[in-house]
Amino acid sequence: MPDRPRGEDGDVVYRTFDVDEADPNVSVARTVAELEDVDTNDLPPLYDCIDHVLEHIFSDPPAPAAETEITFSYEGYRITVEQDGSAVFRKQGKRE
């Protein structure tokens, strides 16, 4: 499935990750770096946020019928990654 463009409000981005990639955490960090126009090395490690959870749902996935997904916050985005590799990045508003 190809990446879909940002939502009409510019705050939602869809991606599809290769579930066979060695480190899905890198895919998430790369996407956030791209959206924020910063270098990936300038972002804090994703491991600090969710440890190795993404690796586990891709490396030893549950049965497809489980439809596993994880949702977490990272660097101003609410990110949902599904077991099939689809991901949604929602820009979070600034807290007042």
* pLDDT grade for 69, boundaries at 50, 70 and 90: confident
Least reliable range by pLDDT among 21-25, 57-61, 78-82, 87-91: 57-61
Instruction: Please tell me the distance from the alpha carbon of residue 71 to that of residue 9, in angstroms, as a whole number.
Output: 21
Residue with the bigger pLDDT between 79 and 57: it is: 79
Residues 19, 58 contacting (CB under 8 angstroms): yes
User: What does the domain layout of the chain look like in residue ranges?
Assistant: 19-91
Mean pLDDT value across the chain: 80
Whether the CB-CB separation of 33 and 42 falls below 8 Å is answered with: yes
d(CA 93, CA 81): 20
Identity of the residue numbered 38:
V
More confident residue, 6 or 49: 49
